[in-house]
Amino acid sequence: MKPKFIAISDTIIEKIRSGELQPGDQIPSENELIKSYNVSNTTARKSLLDIESKGWAKRIKGKGTYVLNRTPDHHLVRTLGSIYATRRGFHESLIAEGFQPRNLVLEKTILPDGISSEIGGKHFIIDGPVLKIHQLRYADEEIIKDETKYISLKLCPNINRMPTEISYFKVYESTYHLKIEEVKQTLSTEIIQPDSSENNFELKKATAMFILDSAVVSTKNKVVEIERSLYRGDKYKFAIIASPDYKDNGQKPD
Could you give all domains of the chain from N- to C-terminal order, each with its CATH number?
Answer: 4-67 (1.10.10.10), 72-240 (3.40.1410.10)
Amino acid, res. 195:
D
Distance CA 202, CA 38 (A): 52
Measured in degrees and rounded to the nearest 5, phi and psi for residue 196 equal: -70, 145
HSE toward the beta carbon, residue 226, CA cutoff 13 A: 21
- Kind of pairing, strands 76-80 and 222-232? unpaired
Distance CA 89, CA 241 (A): 17
Mean pLDDT of the chain: 89
172-196: per-residue pLDDT in tens? 999 999 999 999 999 999 999 999 9
Concatenated DSSP letters of 215-254: EEEEGGGEEEEEEEEEEETTTEEEEE------TTTS----
- Residue 209 reports pLDDT greater than 90: yes
Distance CA 80, CA 61 (A): 28
Q: What is the pLDDT of residue 74?
A: 63
Q: What is the pLDDT of residue 235?
A: 86
| Mean pLDDT for the stretch of residues 19-42 | 91
Distance CA 224, CA 114 (A): 12
| Mean pLDDT for the stretch of residues 27-54 | 93
Distance CA 105, CA 202 (A): 16
- Residue 216 reports pLDDT greater than 90: yes
The structure's pTM equals: 0.76
Q: How far is CA 109 from CA 106, 112, 160, 161, 163, in A?
A: 10, 10, 8, 11, 13
Q: What is the pLDDT of residue 44?
A: 94
90-125: per-residue pLDDT in tens? 888 888 888 899 999 999 999 999 999 999 899 999
Which of 76-85, 193-202, 218-227, 231-240 bottoms out in mean pLDDT, i.e. has the lowest?
76-85
Q: What is the pLDDT of residue 25?
A: 87
Q: Helices marked H in the chain — which ranges?
A: 4-18, 30-37, 41-53, 83-88, 90-97, 168-174
